[in-house]
Structure 1
Amino acid sequence: MNKKDQVIVGFRDLLNKMSWLNKSKMEVCLKDYKPSEVHCIEYIGKHVDSNVTKLAESLYMTRSAISKITKKLMEKDLIESYQKPDNKKEIYFKLTEQGEAINQIHEELHSEFEERDKAVFEQVTEAQFDKVLNFLKTYSQHLDAEIKKQGLDMKSE
């Protein structure tokens, strides 16, 4: 296997292992919520004036899928919609108190997972981080261009 293939397989294995390790704890603590719902809650919690388009772009989902998820989240009283006085057309979302509680559980789980993996990151030098980050940026920009080229750009949906 060449180095390119080793990198791709390595990334997949790494993400699969992280998902597998984190899954059971996430399922227990957030058992009533689908991962897509939790990710929407997380995004809304971190971004003021979240809307369907921003959520779709961030989560790589269609706007119609995000509309369905946000509707469910509103029915569960986890988020609420609002409009700005100067823009009655656009609908934005914010977390309710219950949504904040779910987001807090999710953040605590991520902190726990970070603590578990801390020993690895403490061994990485700044130069190594910079090389990995540069590679990720370059590869991500390439994939963004491919998404756009194939007409999968969420902005054009």
Structure 2
Amino acid sequence: MTETTGTFVVTHAESDSAVVRDVETAQVHTLASNPGLEVHDVLEATVAPDPPLEVTWQVVEVDDRRSIELVDSDLEPTQHAKELAADADIGELIQEERAGTGEIHVFRVPEEDVEAAATDVLEDEETVARAARLEAVRVEVRRDVGGGVLSVRYLPD
């Protein structure tokens, strides 16, 4: 095994160890120690096998560290997001780049499933990994229960 440089999201953290996942390859690395990491932290870093057994990894260099904030907003999707969803089929995902940085994802879901869908997005590890890939630091989930629309906003800051 050799060292790996990439973008990693912290999926599990304890006082003496942590687990990070490469957001591009989905490879998981168990760290032999925890250098102050918290779940949802994102590292632009290099990890290497931890000697002598090389069954765990260590962080050897950190170029950048940020945390992803997950927000369960009480706001409804914007009018624009609702318009995007108006012609979509149930279950269809519409992705749109934001002006500047980030993306907006809009889903049409059955009205009775909007709350569950919002919870699924907020609890899904891939939501944080996607935010890391998009260089977002905040993920905001908005819902329109009566309209069956879920909006996920990946925001830079």
Q: Which structure shows the bigger proportion of residues in helix conformation?
A: 1
Higher relative contact order (CA 8 A, sep 6+): 1
Q: What is the TM-score of this pair, normalised by structure 2? A: 0.23
Q: What is the TM-score of this pair, normalised by structure 1? A: 0.23
